[in-house]
Amino acid sequence: MSMASLWQGRSDADEGHRALRWHQVVNQPEQLTHLHPTPQMLPALALLGYPCDLGVALNHGRVGAAAGPNALRKMLANLPWDINGQLVDAGDTHLQATLAQTQHYYRQRLATLLSSHAAVLALGGGHDIALGSYLALADSLPSDSVIGIINIDAHLDLRSPAKGGSSGTPFRQIAQWCEAQDRDFHYACLGASQAANTPALYDYAKQNNVHILPDIDFTLANAQALLSPFLQYIDTLYVTVCMDAFAASAAPGVSAPAALGIDPLPVIKLINWLGHAAEQASVTWKLADIAELNPIYDEQLKTARLASRIGFELASALFINPCVKR
């Protein structure tokens, strides 16, 4: 399927430039002349797909997330474009022979995009995307930068990678990398389900000062209370949203459906708040990703629609940050 065929949608040309949608501006800076006399100088949001569910298979989940990036593009296409910047679809990273090789290749592609674009929204794929995302962000920053991870997820994804990485191991792999590099590991997981994580994972989380907000306690106020001090200890933010954080009724098309899950509305409000809170805390935020969208099991495109709304909110929040207003 060609990228052009994915970026299709409604056109309201008779309503003027403020009626543009994502499909009309992606890779088309000439559409943005109303925003700036030299649109090629506008900051740009880049999209990068990670069409990989090798890690999901290794984690014994439902495969199908490899089709997630294109399903998400199709849903994003028809959303209104209200950002003062360009939109660049950098395509997909290529699958390699192994998960580790695929993650490394994605890391290289993403690091290049982070160095040349104001912000990047990556589209998964399994949650093993997180390892490549974090390492690419670290590659693009000074070695003394303190990175904070906010993961909205039912799973801590802190399993041991002793027998190899998977979609259940990325944050433990990041913790091990931080230890080897003598860097601080700052990780907050919001929406974690006690029914989806073993006591051993909670033990490891406690030993490594992981901040956890359980699914049964997830509210906007509780999330803000947890994250406000978290932002004071970091320089740079990386946000990752796993679609299995939400109830199966709202997000049936995921690798591991949630019996309970969290409500999408406070997550949407949290993302918006986070853009302003990061700016106020002088925290740079230019990377977010969405993981575990599995179109094979997606009834009436419910999960893709929710994922696109989350992508829409993440894009807007990323552009609140002063780092993209250069």
8 A C-beta contact, residue 182 and residue 175: no
Report helix, strand or coil for 16.
coil
CA quadruple 326, 291, 102, 238: dihedral, nearest 10: 40
Is 153 known as a binding-site position?
Answer: yes
Is 157 known as a binding-site position?
Answer: yes
For 32, list phi and psi in degrees, rounded to 5.
-105, 20
Q: How big is the CA angle at 307 (ends 272 and 314), to the nearest 5 degrees?
A: 25
- Beta carbons within 10 angstroms of residue 14's beta carbon: 6
Is 34 known as a binding-site position?
Answer: no
Exposed (0-12), middle (13-18) or buried (19+): which is 203, by Cβ within 10 Å?
exposed
Q: What's the length of the chain?
A: 326
Only one residue has tokens 């690091």, namely: 111
Is 155 known as a binding-site position?
Answer: yes
Mark the binding-site residues for Mn(2+), compressed into ranges.
127, 153, 155, 157, 242, 244
Mark the binding-site residues, compressed into ranges.
127, 153, 155, 157, 242, 244
